[in-house]
Amino acid sequence: MPKQSPVPDALSKPFWDACNEGRLIMQTCGICNRMQFPPEAACSQCKSKDHLMWREVSGRGKIYGYAVMHDCRIRVLQADQPFNLAIVELDEDPGIKMYSHLPGTPVDEVPVGASVRVEFEATPASGQKVYEWRVVK
């Protein structure tokens, strides 16, 4: 389904640039060895601003849970209503949660706990690629 184009800012630009290259990266604190998403100006645990780095992750995760969206205000998504809105947790750190529409999975037939793999999809407005997740068969 077509999606909104994110507008990268200074903080999120490395993340979105990596998406355009087909890579998933996570902001990681070098002191706590801990990942956070979305990116922030400082580590949310130790508050350090000087030890944040980007780390590439495997792009594998599991479905934590889901809902079905029947009506939302985002016009570009309305043609595909109702649609899945799943929460995916990263294999490297289940504390990292990302949303997905689970392309290829029929609405309301989401296999909670199943393995998923990241993929990248170009958005119509700007061509910026965004992450999406697909159930691994």
The residues of the shown chain that bind Zn ion, judged by CB under 5 A, are: 29, 31-32, 43, 45-46
What are 43's two structure tokens? 């580590």
Nearest residue (CB) to Zn ion, 13 versus 49: 49
Report d(CA 121, CA 129) in Å as an integer.
Answer: 5
H helix runs in the chain, sequence order: 13-20, 75-78
Looking at the Cβ atoms of 46 and 72, the one nearer to Zn ion is 46
Whole-number minimum distance, CB 27 to Zn ion, in Å?
Answer: 10
Among residues 46 and 67, whose Cβ is nearest to Zn ion?
46
| In the block, residue with structure tokens 């000087």 | 50
To Zn ion, the closest distance from the beta carbon of 31 in angstroms equals 4
Shortest distance, CB of residue 41 to Zn ion, whole angstroms?
12
3-state secondary structure of 63: strand
Neighbours of 95 (CB within 10 A): 11
As given in the structure block, the two tokens for residue 131 are: 């992450």
Structure token pair of residue 93: 């750190």
Considering the complex, what minimum distance in angstroms separates the CB of residue 61 from Zn ion? 22
> Which residue's CB is nearer to Zn ion, number 25 or number 88?
25
